[in-house]
Amino acid sequence: DIKWVSAEELGNGKNTDKYLSDVHGIVVSGRFGEKGLNGKIEAVKYARENNIPFLGLCLGMQCAVIEFARNVCGIDADSEVIHKKRNSNGEMRLGSYSCNIKPGTLLYEAYGTDTVSERYRNKYEFNNKYKEEITSKGMIISATSPDEILVEAIELERHPWFVGTQYHPEYKSRANRPHPVFREFIKAALKHQQK
């Protein structure tokens, strides 16, 4: 079963358990704008603290980094601090780009290779100013651009299945050929359900 929860219902942090206590996987999807941002961050926190499989897509990955920066690293973070705009004219990163997958990660396990091509539609990027501090506390940079400048995906060290992607795997997923990231997320959710 799929349970749709409006991020706005979780925004104050008081209803999180009411809406999420019976789920076995949490997906935080991408979108533009601040609407529901705090609720998305609350959903990420719930997944992290309760070892629920998590998949963050684009803004969902950004929310995962913000939540981790705030609650694990003690950084006063929001989307402007932790994620910088690609450039001053608001240009977006659109289309297909290569990214390198770090061996030994959940993403590497999903893809079975260290280089993939994924599709993007984003204005913001991970702010590398915080990379060392965040990774020292247990966040893994599991994929980067070929030049290793852009963070393309993150994971958590001590979590059964927690993945955030800057790219949009849904653009390459088909009913008869699901994207490897979705396939592995569903496997993790089913495993969580069996506990």
Q: Residues with Cβ < 8 Å from 40, sequence gap 6 or more?
A: 7, 10, 28, 59, 60, 63
Specify the DSSP element, H or E, that contains 120.
Answer: strand 115-122
- Catalytic: 170? yes
Tokens of 75: 């950084």
Contact 44, 54 (CB under 8 A): yes
Catalytic residue check, 67: no
Q: Which of 63, 83, 155, 168 is catalytic?
A: 168
From the candidates 58, 152, 155, 179, which is the catalytic residue? 58
- The verdict on whether 73 is a catalytic residue reads no
**Among residues 9, 24, 73, 170, which one is catalytic?**
170
In angstroms, rounded to a whole number, what is the distance separating the alpha carbons of residues 147 and 57? Answer: 22
Give the active site residues: 58, 168, 170
